Chain A
């Protein structure tokens, strides 16, 4: 690589100016850390909310309901006012480990090197594309994710389709209905693999109101059209196949941390979350690098990520002031039967970090959440949940455990109706 045009230093470098990165940076400034730099690859800060044209954002942070773009602007303003320096259009491409972290960024002005004492990775999540879901058929124009749809609608005022099929019933799937409305599109149907929606069934009034039929236990088995989508084939619960005409397919949800940087710089990645492994202070396996926001857990709300970023900001400040317990020895938390992921994945002894373990169940479940260490049950909590619902348990319960812990679910579970599981 060519020589950098500029070398600069920072106490803390935050990667990503979404809710988590901005709140961590703001917190660090408030706690008196002098030199806090946020680098963001997009030309505008604010992260995903920049193009979530729908409410509600901001209740937790600003005490009122806002649209995503207004919320994103507020977060940026607040960070800048607190003395955070924000570098836009700047992509972190690598981190080398020396006495400090040597971070290389690409920018229009050339390569930039930042020498930082600490870094926080807050690069967020995206949705799983069609390819990773291995969906059969042609590969036409008009097959996209909600993130792209939102950018069409709110950043570029364009429509990628008028009559899409919507795949998924997560919160983001519901918000996509509003975005479709915004661009004058009327979805032909919304489909869900499972027999129940991913969101709470009471939230499904929205498609009904908008006249979008919802079909459960239904799989997308073929996409047809060249160069643009012309139709799809659905596998219905009774085993019938049905062709539906449409001009687009919107794959919603099935979130995936944007963790390629984290992986390429050698951090341990948790196969459950797809994001970096952290301890209760959000330290990754390279203890000078922290992580915050949805890179850690697919997926939480902006408000949640913002609050988490704030906590992580204070952990980093503590660390710079020599007040965090050593990162070395940790017990491991691993997901057992019925659990998809557990964050944090490591707990070191001493100090107070994140207050809760965050988990997700793999299936719709009602029963108990059980933690076991060395084959012995150490706690049991009642549990009713579904795959996209947040499960919390106080970290304090595990703080003094002596050996690795497995967390699993016991009780009645409903699995995907197709035995071979797909992630559509």
Chain B
């Protein structure tokens, strides 16, 4: 059996960026993911905001990874055809008390090197966002906060990794492993694999993996659920800027933001739970979010709900990232990437490669990397249906073409399950939620996805 330089466990946001970084640096990479597709864990449901780090803990690893990740994303996004919706954000003070807090938020932003922030009076807020409730007293404008596609970047990173020889294995849960002093032998549900170094990017299972393979974990995952409501596309005309609350100790709070897909979403909640897999939606919480959204932007009351979803943050008993190196075991743990991993993933990968180099490893970096372009799903940029020869439109609400479905089902890193197909194309994610397309998708994907849409033939 060939021995890889590194085995990365977990194809979440962090693992995918990690696979790309290590591959580009010349390491032989194997990526092991227990799900049928990438982004099967914490990374499948988030707010899709590319953060500047203005409110991150000053001097933290989290802040430097966020800022490095932000910068690298802007540098590479055109190469991969990835979108950026330049919305800016406003931290809005709705009360006197919150207003008083803006000073320290602004000071922290400047301390974090985010110097283009500025204060908006209530009149300036209204000029910028006429539909925002007049109760908004004052705001801190953070022009650099933007919105991205939360899924396509990671597909692009894996396509690039695979093009340069990384082995990507889905349905491969790392169940056990042994280290003989130089090499790890990992038992997975897709067979045995060997690598010199293991990088634990197992997200919600990071502590479990450490416990199982190292004998102990230095942190404990405490899953924190975030529920969301997505409004119909009609809402995107109502709001331009991301609306952030004055944060509390525990959470960034409920955000109102556009998505690159042309919707507006409100969320997330912050609810501690023990279960690491079940991210349920709950009517009461969803109604609470709707009420909050309408309080901020009354016009949303007339807009329909398109979708509801929930994600689990891999939070721990502490606030910061839990990145640690076990030199004696050729092991790096990248844990507790709680609520900024979408932004920070590329930066985390740079940081971890630095740690790996400090362990004494060196490879010859790839010269002239291939740049596989991914299909654009953002509404403000040209979509596939605008070019002839697409066959037919399968999903009418999101205007997903037959050509897009076929591309997502074939080639490098094809969709492994229905969730993966949705994240690659947006099929079934629009206002009708599959009323018009679910059956056709069942036929088109028959026999090709981990869990089929149809249970069998009629009759």
Task: State whether B287 touches A134 (Cβ < 8 A).
Answer: yes
CB distance from B275 to the nearest CB of A (A): 11
Q: CB within 8 A of A153: which of B417, B431, B458?
A: B458
For B458, the closest partner residue in chain A by CB is A183
Task: State whether B439 touches A41 (Cβ < 8 A).
Answer: no
One of B2-10, B53-61, B99-107, B302-310 contacting the partner:
B302-310
CA distance A141 to B388 in the complex (A): 32
B286 interfacial by beta-carbon distance below 8 Å: yes
A263 interfacial by beta-carbon distance below 8 Å: yes
Chain B contacts for A137, CB-based, 8 A: 280-281
Q: Mark A234-264, 1 if CB is under 8 A from B, else 0.
A: 0000000000000100000000101010011
Chain A contacts for B230, CB-based, 8 A: 131
CA distance A247 to B452 in the complex (A): 13
Task: State whether B443 touches A260 (Cβ < 8 A).
Answer: no
A145 interfacial by beta-carbon distance below 8 Å: yes
Task: State whether A156 touches B455 (Cβ < 8 A).
Answer: no
CA distance A222 to B456 in the complex (A): 25
Task: State whether B283 touches A134 (Cβ < 8 A).
Answer: yes
One of B124-132, B135-143, B391-399 contacting the partner:
B391-399
Interface centre among A126, A141, A159, A256 (most CB of B within 10 A): A141
CA distance A109 to B388 in the complex (A): 5
Task: State whether B283 touches A91 (Cβ < 8 A).
Answer: no
CA distance A84 to B440 in the complex (A): 28
**A window 44-82: CB within 8 A of B:** none
CB distance from B22 to the nearest CB of A (A): 31
CA distance A226 to B435 in the complex (A): 21
CB distance from B174 to the nearest CB of A (A): 21
CA distance A108 to B446 in the complex (A): 24
A381 interfacial by beta-carbon distance below 8 Å: no
For A260, the closest partner residue in chain B by CB is B431
B389 interfacial by beta-carbon distance below 8 Å: yes
* Contact (A158, B435) CB under 8 Å given A132-B304, A226-B278: no
Chain B contacts for A121, CB-based, 8 A: none
CA distance A149 to B397 in the complex (A): 18
Task: State whether A5 touches B438 (Cβ < 8 A).
Answer: no
B386 interfacial by beta-carbon distance below 8 Å: yes
* Contact (A129, B434) CB under 8 Å given A138-B280, A158-B439: yes
Total A-B Cβ pairs within 8 A:
159
A2 interfacial by beta-carbon distance below 8 Å: yes
Task: State whether A1 touches B386 (Cβ < 8 A).
Answer: yes
Chain A contacts for B433, CB-based, 8 A: 129-132, 145
Task: State whether A41 touches B396 (Cβ < 8 A).
Answer: yes
Task: State whether B451 touches A141 (Cβ < 8 A).
Answer: yes
Chain A contacts for B399, CB-based, 8 A: 91, 93, 106
Task: State whether B451 touches A228 (Cβ < 8 A).
Answer: yes
**B window 71-97: CB within 8 A of A:** none
Chain A contacts for B213, CB-based, 8 A: none
B211 interfacial by beta-carbon distance below 8 Å: no
Q: CB within 8 A of B456: which of A93, A158, A221, A264?
A: A158
A306 interfacial by beta-carbon distance below 8 Å: no
Chain B contacts for A127, CB-based, 8 A: 435
* Contact (A152, B388) CB under 8 Å given A134-B283, A157-B458, A271-B302: no
Q: CB within 8 A of B453: which of A91, A139, A160?
A: A160
**A window 96-148: CB within 8 A of B:** 106-111, 126-127, 129-132, 134-139, 141-142, 144-145, 147-148
CA distance A153 to B277 in the complex (A): 33
Task: State whether A126 touches B458 (Cβ < 8 A).
Answer: no
Chain B contacts for A258, CB-based, 8 A: 432
CB distance from A166 to the nearest CB of B (A): 16
CA distance A151 to B152 in the complex (A): 30
Task: State whether A43 touches B281 (Cβ < 8 A).
Answer: no
Task: State whether B435 touches A132 (Cβ < 8 A).
Answer: no
Chain A contacts for B388, CB-based, 8 A: 5, 107-110
Interface centre among B386, B396, B438 (most CB of A within 10 A): B438
B387 interfacial by beta-carbon distance below 8 Å: yes
B411 interfacial by beta-carbon distance below 8 Å: no
Q: Mark B425-459, 1 if CB is under 8 A from A, else 0.
A: 00000011111101110110010001101111111
Chain A contacts for B282, CB-based, 8 A: 136
Task: State whether B286 touches A134 (Cβ < 8 A).
Answer: yes
Chain A contacts for B457, CB-based, 8 A: 157-159
CA distance A159 to B417 in the complex (A): 18
Task: State whether B438 touches A148 (Cβ < 8 A).
Answer: yes
CA distance A24 to B234 in the complex (A): 28
**A window 1-26: CB within 8 A of B:** 1-2, 5
A227 interfacial by beta-carbon distance below 8 Å: yes
CA distance A297 to B335 in the complex (A): 53
Task: State whether A108 touches B392 (Cβ < 8 A).
Answer: yes
CA distance A386 to B455 in the complex (A): 37
CA distance A359 to B253 in the complex (A): 43
Chain A contacts for B434, CB-based, 8 A: 129, 144-145, 148
CB distance from A105 to the nearest CB of B (A): 11
Task: State whether B393 touches A91 (Cβ < 8 A).
Answer: yes
* Contact (A136, B232) CB under 8 Å given A151-B439, A158-B456: no
B356 interfacial by beta-carbon distance below 8 Å: no
Task: State whether B451 touches A227 (Cβ < 8 A).
Answer: yes
For B36, the closest partner residue in chain A by CB is A227
B170 interfacial by beta-carbon distance below 8 Å: no
CB distance from B72 to the nearest CB of A (A): 32
* Contact (A126, B393) CB under 8 Å given A134-B287, A227-B451, A263-B234: no
A417 interfacial by beta-carbon distance below 8 Å: no
CB distance from B407 to the nearest CB of A (A): 16
For B290, the closest partner residue in chain A by CB is A134
Task: State whether B439 touches A160 (Cβ < 8 A).
Answer: yes
CA distance A144 to B454 in the complex (A): 12
Task: State whether B392 touches A227 (Cβ < 8 A).
Answer: no
A184 interfacial by beta-carbon distance below 8 Å: yes
CA distance A142 to B418 in the complex (A): 12
Task: State whether B458 touches A108 (Cβ < 8 A).
Answer: no
Task: State whether B393 touches A106 (Cβ < 8 A).
Answer: yes
Task: State whether A158 touches B389 (Cβ < 8 A).
Answer: no
A396 interfacial by beta-carbon distance below 8 Å: no
6 contacts between A and B (CB under 8 A): A131-B433, A134-B283, A134-B287, A145-B435, A147-B436, A156-B443
Closest 10 CB pairs of A and B: A151-B439, A129-B433, A110-B388, A227-B451, A183-B458, A158-B454, A148-B438, A152-B439, A147-B435, A156-B443
Given contacts A136-B280, A160-B439, A228-B455, 17 further A-B contacts (CB under 8 A): A2-B386, A107-B388, A109-B388, A129-B434, A139-B309, A141-B451, A144-B435, A145-B433, A145-B435, A151-B436, A152-B458, A158-B457, A159-B456, A162-B455, A184-B458, A264-B234, A274-B304
